[in-house]
Amino acid sequence: MKHLALIATLATGALLLYGTKDFPAWGDPQAPASTYLSPHYIEDAVEETHVPNIVTAVLGDYRGYDTMFETVVIYCAGMAVVSVLSRKREEE
Amino acid sequence: MESIVGEIVAKYNYWIYVVLMMIGFYAMIGKRNLVKKLLGMNIFQTSIILFFVSTGVKKGGGIPIVDKYQGLAGTVEAASTVNPLPHVLMLTAIVVGVSVTGVALAVLQRIYREYGTLEEDEILEKIQR
Amino acid sequence: MRDIYEHSAGEDLIIKTSVRLLVPFIQLFGLYVIVHGHYSPGGGFQGGVILGAAFILLALAYDMKTSQEYMTIRVNALFTNLGAAIFIGVGAVSAIFGGLFLDYAALNKLIPLGPIEWHSFGIFLVEVGVGFTVMSIMVLLYWNLSSSGTLDEGL
């Protein structure tokens, strides 16, 4: 069982390392992740929202839905913990 | 041989994340203790967070907090600031991770209360009796 | 077993005094992180966790009862719901006033600050809501997990 897990882990790691062949190098400004949407955020976020911290601007405004359901997720986590664990002391 | 070494050195960050991911993945599928599985999941998650943050790095780039007057004048250059989008995504991912860890710990406490153990084989034995 | 822990670190005078001195500053720093999130690293999630850590520190240094004197279970539930309600309420109000959901510029019809200033202020309102929810959920998670659901005495 342990050997099977080790083999599966090594196979997955090898597959992922093979996948890094096509990835951009570390710190490349022309990486695909940095050229599609983020120049718009960096250059225009302050004009559009008057917030110098671009992370906050994106979090609260451009991705407001994401953050809202984020709040709902932690809300649900709290409710789940209460409903899973809650009990009275004298039950023991 | 030279080119392979050069390739590895240029992308050493991905190697670190893959090794971290392998540690977490092995803990998740190879260990028999449920708490160890949970810790493995946290390590796995940390490797993914590091991976995403590293995709936003630009060489020589500053933090994604720009000068307000420069921003209003429109003179901020995209190449001088790191990509803020992975930071936002990982900020939310960290909070989801905390929620998942909390719920998982609650379920583990409930399992311990029910079966008196957190070892997978012992729980399976008790379920089948 | 029990009497060893009666006189262990939890009952120590130095820890109690230093925590009592530290907690107001931690809470002030948490509020600063939430409010100053527009200009420096910070925001609702980070500040909320710091505010929650102040209550968790109180519960660790004293006991769970003491932390529940400062934030009762009822107030905790109130803050949880208030935070989520602020966030969704800001979105819904901006939808009612003619914009899209969470399009803060539409709130300009309510109080005329200018549409771009409303984007900034709407982000602030939303961050405060997130901070409330994160703070109370962190405290709730600690209370429940450390006392295994009884909420009366824990670590």
**Tens digits of residue pLDDT in B39-70:** 999 999 999 999 999 988 888 888 888 888 88
- The reply to whether C117 touches chain A by the CB within 8 Å rule is yes
Total length of chain A: 92
Cα→Cα distances A81→A88, B55, B68, B106, Å: 15, 34, 42, 6
Cβ atoms of residues A46 and A52 within 8 Å: yes
Query: Is the Cα torsion angle C137, C143, C145, C151 positive or negative in sign?
Result: negative
The angle subtended at Cα A37 by Cα C88 and Cα A24, nearest 5°, is: 125
What integer pLDDT is reported at residue B9 of this predicted model? Answer: 80
Contact (CB<8Å) C45/B95: yes
Contact (CB<8Å) B95/C149: no
What is the residue whose two structure tokens read 């005329």? C112
Judging contacts by C-beta atoms under 8 Å, the chain A residues touching residue C122 are 60-61
Residue C7 has pLDDT above 50, yes or no: no
What integer pLDDT is reported at residue A13 of this predicted model? Answer: 93
pLDDT band at C2 (very low <50, low <70, confident <90, very high): very low
For residue B68, give the chain C residue with the closest CA: C39
Residue span of the structural domain in which B120 resides: 2-128
What integer pLDDT is reported at residue A77 of this predicted model? Answer: 94
Distance from CA of A14 to the nearest CA of C (A): 36
For residue A38, give the chain B residue with the closest CA: B83
So where are chain C's domains? Answer: 2-146
| Rounded Cα gap, residues B22 and B39, in angstroms | 13
Share of chain A above pLDDT 70, in %: 96
For residue C144, give the chain B residue with the closest CA: B106
| Rounded Cα gap, residues C90 and C105, in angstroms | 11
| Rounded Cα gap, residues B124 and B44, in angstroms | 26
| Rounded Cα gap, residues B82 and A45, in angstroms | 14
Cβ atoms of residues A88 and B113 within 8 Å: no
CATH code of B123's domain:
1.10.287.3510
The angle subtended at Cα B114 by Cα B112 and Cα B117, nearest 5°, is: 35
Which residue in the set B63, B106, B113 is minimally distant from C145, CB to CB? B106
Mean pLDDT of chain A: 88
Contact (CB<8Å) B59/A27: yes
Judging contacts by C-beta atoms under 8 Å, the chain A residues touching residue C136 are 78
Cβ neighbours of residue B108 closer than 8 Å, sequence gap 6 or more: B34, B35, B38, B118
Judging contacts by C-beta atoms under 8 Å, the chain B residues touching residue C43 are 91
Q: How many domains does chain B have?
A: 1
Interior/surface letters C57-77, b for 16+ CB within 10 angstroms, e for the rest: bbbbbbbbeebbeebeeeebe
pLDDT band at C32 (very low <50, low <70, confident <90, very high): very high
* Residue B77, SS3 per DSSP: coil
Ramachandran category for residue B82: left, alpha or beta (phi over 0 → left; psi -120 to 50 → alpha): beta
Judging contacts by C-beta atoms under 8 Å, the chain A residues touching residue C148 are 85
* Residue C128, SS3 per DSSP: helix
pLDDT band at B100 (very low <50, low <70, confident <90, very high): very high
Contact (CB<8Å) C141/B102: yes
Tally Cβ neighbours within 10 Å of residue C18: 12
> At what angle are helices C44-61 and C115-146 packed, to 10 degrees?
30
Distance from CA of A75 to the nearest CA of C (A): 7
Nearest of C36, C14, C33 to residue C25 by alpha carbon: C33
For residue B52, give the chain A residue with the closest CA: A33
Long-range contacts of residues C91-96, Cβ cutoff 8 Å, at least 24 apart:
C91/A64, C91/A68, C94/C122
Judging contacts by C-beta atoms under 8 Å, the chain B residues touching residue A27 are 57-59
Residue C137 has pLDDT above 70, yes or no: yes
Q: What is the ipTM of this complex?
A: 0.85
| Rounded Cα gap, residues C39 and C127, in angstroms | 13
Judging contacts by C-beta atoms under 8 Å, the chain C residues touching residue B113 are 148
Contact (CB<8Å) C144/B106: yes
- The reply to whether C136 touches chain A by the CB within 8 Å rule is yes
- Mean pLDDT, rounded, for C65-84: 92
Q: Which chains touch B (3 or more CB pairs under 8 A)?
A: A, C
Nearest of B47, B68, B103, C141 to residue A80 by alpha carbon: B103
